[in-house]
């Protein structure tokens, strides 16, 4: 698919994008790319303090502010936490978003991750990027967006903790040196202030920003830089086979 300067990152929950590929998006934005950031679920379960509707509103605003740090547009697909399903309504919503944004390059969650919402999002985005150009698949949203102009480049970010369900490492295919963008990434992550108490209570983690930097440092050690983000490219039939991200950002092989 032709480089139209439009990039979409779509992941399961508010803050997934910032943690997993915020630095790369910041670098791409600095190079003049138009960035779009979307979360499939509303983030309505990420709290022990607020009602479902209240935390969803809070997290929507946090995600909007995080996107604004790099001048990105922000969307929510409206699913609920823990209920991201590979079903007709959700798939149609994701397809419609992909068609409206019409990106030439897409980032999403790892196909294998600790949380099923992440894995379902990965599958939804994979299908949406593949089938978005087929005019006979109608999203039932009025007015509908035009089908995309082709199959975009698709990249999977790291799994959380970089391991599968059995603790085995999931190695990146290549890395992006985000050292020049780490402060911007930190600003993006800090926008998600509501998640500190949630993670401290539910995940037993009280190092929200430090964990983000620790993951970046671990990746950096794999490729000889201070901070890095890891990715794998989807290379199935019909998807672009050249690594466009490597052309844009000079990535480091794993």
Quick one: pLDDT band at residue 85, thresholds 50, 70, 90?
A: very high
How far apart CA 188 and CA 64 sit, in angstroms, is 10
Mean pLDDT of 28-56: 94
pLDDT at residue 84 in the model? 98
Mean pLDDT of 42-49: 87
Is the pLDDT score of 154 beyond 90? yes
pLDDT at residue 198 in the model? 62
Is the pLDDT score of 184 beyond 70? yes
Could you write out the three-class secondary structure of 16-63?
Answer: HHHHHHHHHHHHHHHCCCEEEEEEEECCCCCCCCCCHHHHHHHHHHHH
Query: Taking the model in full, what pTM does it have?
Result: 0.95
Classify residue 84: in a domain, yes or no.
yes
Average pLDDT value over all residues in the chain:
94
Structure tokens at 97: 């978003």
88-124 pLDDT tens trace: 999 999 999 999 999 999 999 999 999 999 999 999 9
Please, what is the Cα angle at 229 between 205 and 42, to 5 degrees? 55
Is the pLDDT score of 202 beyond 60? no
pLDDT at residue 48 in the model? 79
Mean pLDDT of 11-32: 97
Name the residue among 24, 11, 5, 15 with its Cα closest to residue 225.
Answer: 24
- Given a contact cutoff of 8 angstroms between Cβ atoms, the answer to whether 87 and 40 are in contact is no
Is the pLDDT score of 49 beyond 90? no
Q: Which helix (H) or strand (E) holds 98?
A: helix 88-101
Classify residue 157: in a domain, yes or no.
yes
Is the pLDDT score of 206 beyond 60? no
Quick one: pLDDT band at residue 194, thresholds 50, 70, 90?
A: confident
Structure tokens at 217: 């440092």
Is the pLDDT score of 59 beyond 80? yes
Q: Interhelix angle for 182-190 vs 208-223, to 10°?
A: 150
Domain that holds residue 67: 6-253
Mean pLDDT of 37-48: 92
Classify residue 1: in a domain, yes or no.
no
Classify residue 42: in a domain, yes or no.
yes
pLDDT at residue 208 in the model? 73
Please, what is the Cα angle at 58 between 207 and 197, to 5 degrees? 25
Is the pLDDT score of 188 beyond 80? yes
Domain count, the chain: 1
Name the residue among 88, 74, 84 with its Cα closest to residue 118.
Answer: 84
pLDDT higher at 179 or 205:
179
Mean pLDDT of 44-63: 92
Mean pLDDT of 196-204: 62
pLDDT at residue 204 in the model? 58
Q: What percent of the chain has pLDDT over 70?
A: 95
Please, what is the Cα angle at 160 between 117 and 222, to 5 degrees? 150
- Mean pLDDT is lowest, of 58-67, 165-174, 199-208, for 199-208
CATH of the domain at 160: 3.40.50.10320
Strand order in the sheet with 105-108: 73-79, 34-41, 6-11, 105-108, 153-157, 228-233, 174-177, 252-253
């Amino acid at each position: 698919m032709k480089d139209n300067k439009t990039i979409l990152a779509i992941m399961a929950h508010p803050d997934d994008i910032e943690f997993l590929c915020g630095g790369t998006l910041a670098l791409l934005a600095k190079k003049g790319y138009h960035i779009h950031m979307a979360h499939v679920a509303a983030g309505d379960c990420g709290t022990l303090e607020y009602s479902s509707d209240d935390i969803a509103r809070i997290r929507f605003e946090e995600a909007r502010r995080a996107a604004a740090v790099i001048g990105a547009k922000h969307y929510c697909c409206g699913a609920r936490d823990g209920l991201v399903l590979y079903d007709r309504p959700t798939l149609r919503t994701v397809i419609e978003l992909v068609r409206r944004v019409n990106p030439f390059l897409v980032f999403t969650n790892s196909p294998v991750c600790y949380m099923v919402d992440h894995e379902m999002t990965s599958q939804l985005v994979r299908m949406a990027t593949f089938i978005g150009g087929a005019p006979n698949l109608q999203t039932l949203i009025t007015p509908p967006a035009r089908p995309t102009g082709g199959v975009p480049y698709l990249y999977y970010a790291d799994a959380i903790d970089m391991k599968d369900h059995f603790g085995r490492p999931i190695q990146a295919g290549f890395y992006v040196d985000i050292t020049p963008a780490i402060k911007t990434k930190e600003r993006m992550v800090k926008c998600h202030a509501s998640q500190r108490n949630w993670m401290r209570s539910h995940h037993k983690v009280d190092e929200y920003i430090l964990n983000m930097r620790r993951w970046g440092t671990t990746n950096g050690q794999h490729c000889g830089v201070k901070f890095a983000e890891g990715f794998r490219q989807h290379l199935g039939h019909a998807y672009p086979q050249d690594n466009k991200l490597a052309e844009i950002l000079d990535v480091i092989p794993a």
